[in-house]
Structure 1
């Protein structure tokens, strides 16, 4: 085991207080999920939970998180949410076990090589400008919905650049139904997802729609054999060390994984950014100065990124406060230990970027929105700042996602002030993704 990055000599373990008969800690987790999880480090570095019949550890210390995420064969992808997502999405890069992950990661890595980013960014710039072209001064918009439509158009265009109207493909509604359905299915009793309820029927229709879209596009791309310099072309051209390509079913699994990651996480980040900027007018004024100097009202492009350091720091700070995948899970594949404590095979372990990012010993004044904390601070030690994970399973599209978020934030803020409706607190949804609940904002066209 590598030497710890922290001087802790003994890692503590404890059981979280407040368990109820039968339910255990599930009631507290459902009622106040984020506050409950953020308070667990006060009880120990490893905190035992009981969620109904399930026993789990929450890993609260960054050194233990680092070890768990870098030893991915011992602490493999697993847990109730991952298992249910695997049933729905298949073995995409985000859900497949470690045994399959290395082959797929090597095959898909060329799609996210840094040399590809300028091409993707050009498509992002076009779609961001198109998505906001109809905005008018004084419009009131549903911010999460508008950001979700924007990121859907961007992700679809980067996946299927050869499709003339990729941004208009009906993936928005289908992905929304499927992702919400997965979270609900974790809480349903066995077999309930097969009942002919309206919700289950909508879920199956959405799955069929996504399969049909990808089936047609895969067939079209294979028929032409043209490299369109998009993600789907790269998936179809990928070969492993034995020269084997991905099957159509495997391509579909990766496409759905990319859609999920590209749409939901970036939309949530942008939505939170508007609330944070509205609450911090001094930061917003500095952002406007940077954008007026660099962009002069035009959409942001890839070559502008080095000249937009404050915009990038705002994205980093938003991801610290509101990491979209806020709680994730692993499963021990063999009897092992973590922090000197025995972990039997099959144990579910949870970790939370939200919890880590709000520890006062890791981030001074952790609840304060301060993009300048990234200005002079040393690079956080592994396991401290984890919006994209860590190790071999770090998000393959991290640079893609941050590029999209910076370009979108810069392009919109250069022309618009997004002011959330006063008097209405913006709260997060109670789901596996830390997205805000629907809220409205008024658009004001900026006069420079």
Structure 2
């Protein structure tokens, strides 16, 4: 067949975007099923899309306008009430939720916790989790393995170990069940959210999730109380040690126990869920494209030989890092960021009024035809030169002052685990078991990521 008549290459799974208005009830049904289903197809073709659904809203896909919201006018665009309503019951007024001066002092205090030195020092915990994941996959034999579930177990092992040093006060399974329970019960959009109802009006599902939240809070409270009472420290400081010692260098202020608990839960939830999702999607993509997987395996084996990856190996694993970057582009865990305009403004030449919702649909931004070549294709080589990628066209961790504080931690963990797995196993897809990208709070693979894992000699 002539080249000009060859069928286009297959594309990895994606969400079909909306081509006609859904209306209020249709939008609510879609949002509760999968938030990404409310995104219009125009969002991957235009720099801005606006509308009204109870409140006025604007979706931004223009890098200059996004820079204005996230960097130049960040105080005028705080996190939306919907975002705060979803998360405040669990993480209170932690670093992720706080605004203004309360956010600034916490950020100054916590920043040293995620310094390069501390993140690199956590590498052995990540390497151990990679080894344990390999052992579980090998034990499952050559049959189908849900790698999404395996990656959740691996990253939860990391976050629990570096948070509590494996302390007996921490029940990993209980916290994991509580997180999933809260997301299932309360992290879906309410019609009150879509109508722009005030934050003080209770959302029934969130009000009923109280027992789940109490269990999560109790774990953090008990761990803090136990550590303060015992004063015990391990050979190296863990996250709880570092947070207990954290102090704002300007105000010399330290966190209260309540603030410590809120931030611990923030790091537990964000510190494992998002990295697990990235790894799961990366493995799906490697199985989808065997040539990419073979190239990545060759790089991993050249750097590692028979051993497990470590933090020191990252400079020798640029293609593995590019696969993680491309997985984050195609399936960003935080697929939509939402802000509320506090003052009138103009974005992309369009009027923005105080009170308008400004959405940054990262999923659509990363697939926008004005910004990316072959945007739905899996191509890690687009990140060979990361400096060539427009900064505000690629935002898996946000940007500006509120850029994700744990970004380097997440990337290091993902590369260590992915390199170790690919060096030891060949992953192939299970026919008819494609994952479905669904966003409730994060962008998850509905149905899991079922792959066949063949151990390599």
Q: Structure 1: how far apart are the matches of 2:19 and 2:257?
A: 49
| Alpha-carbon displacement from aligned partner over 1:377-434 (angstroms, at most 9, x marks no partner) | 6342331110000000000000000111101101111112233311222211242311
Q: Deviations over 1:196-237 (max 9, x none)?
A: 9xxx3xx33332222221112111221244554211111111
Name which of 215, 220, 223 aligns with 1:209: 215
Q: 2:437 matched to 1:433?
A: no
After superposition, what is the alpha-carbon deviation per residue over 1:51-83, rounded to whole angstroms, capped at 9, x for unaligned?
3x2321111212111110112201111131333
Q: Partner of 2:313: helix, strand, or coil?
A: helix
Q: Distance between the aligned counterparts of 2:345 and 2:108, measured in 1?
A: 28
Aligned length: 426
SS where residue 118 of structure 1 aligns? helix
2:396, 2:419 → 1: CA distance? 21
Secondary structure of the residue that 1:211 maps to in structure 2?
helix
Residues 268, 305 of structure 1: CA spacing in aligned structure 2 closer, same or farther, 3 A cutoff? same
Counterpart in the other structure of 1:317: 326
| Cα displacement (A) at 1:254 | 0.6
**Alignment equivalent of 2:157, drawn from 146, 153, 178:** 153
Q: Distance in 2 between matches of 1:372 and 1:391?
A: 26
1:45-444 matches, within 5 Å, as 45-51=47-53, 53-70=54-71, 71-135=73-137, 136=139, 137-161=141-165, 163=167, 168=172, 170-184=174-188, 186-187=190-191, 191=202, 193=204, 200=208, 203-226=209-232, 228=234, 229-240=237-248, 241-376=250-385, 378-439=387-448, 440-444=450-454
Distance (whole Å) between structure 2 residues aligned to residue 57 and residue 261 of structure 1:
26
SS at match of 2:427: strand
How far apart, CA to CA, are the structure 1 residues paired with 2:397 and 2:23?
A: 36
What's the offset of the Cα at 1:436? 0.7
In structure 2, the residue corresponding to 1:362 is in which secondary structure? coil
- Alignment partners' CA distance in 2, 1:192 and 1:375: 45
RMSD, aligned α-carbons: 2.6
* Comparing 316-325 and 170-179, the one that deviates more: 170-179
- When structure 1 is superposed on structure 2, of 423-432 and 37-46 the one drifting more is 37-46
Change (3 A) 1:403 1:194: closer
The Cα shift of 1:268 comes to 0.9
Using CA pairs under 8 Å that are at least 6 residues apart, name the structure with larger relative contact order, 1 or 2.
2
Alpha-carbon spacing, 1:194–1:437, altered in 2? closer, same or farther (3 Å): closer
Residues 373 and 22 of structure 1: is their aligned pair in 2 closer, same or farther, counting only changes over 3 Å?
Answer: closer
Say if 1:250 and 1:101 are closer, same or farther in 2 by CA, change over 3 A. Answer: same
- Distance of 1:329 and 1:36 partners within structure 2: 14
- Aligned CA distance change for structure 1 residues 33 and 22 (closer, same or farther; 3 Å): closer
Distance 2:132 2:157 in 1: 9
Instruction: Note the alpha carbon deviations across 1:15-35, whole angstroms, 9 max, x for none.
Output: x98445544754565677546
TM-score (norm 1): 0.87
1:109: how far off?
A: 0.4
Q: In 2 relative to 1, CA 243–386 (structure 1 residues): closer, same or farther, beyond 3 Å?
A: same
- Deviation larger for 87-96 or 17-26: 17-26
Greater Cα shift, 423-432 or 356-365: 423-432
Q: Point out where structure 2 has 5 or more consecutive residues left out of the alignment.
A: 1-17, 194-200
Would you say the 8 A contact 2:342–2:354 is kept in 1? yes
CA distance in 1, matches of 2:211, 2:455: 40
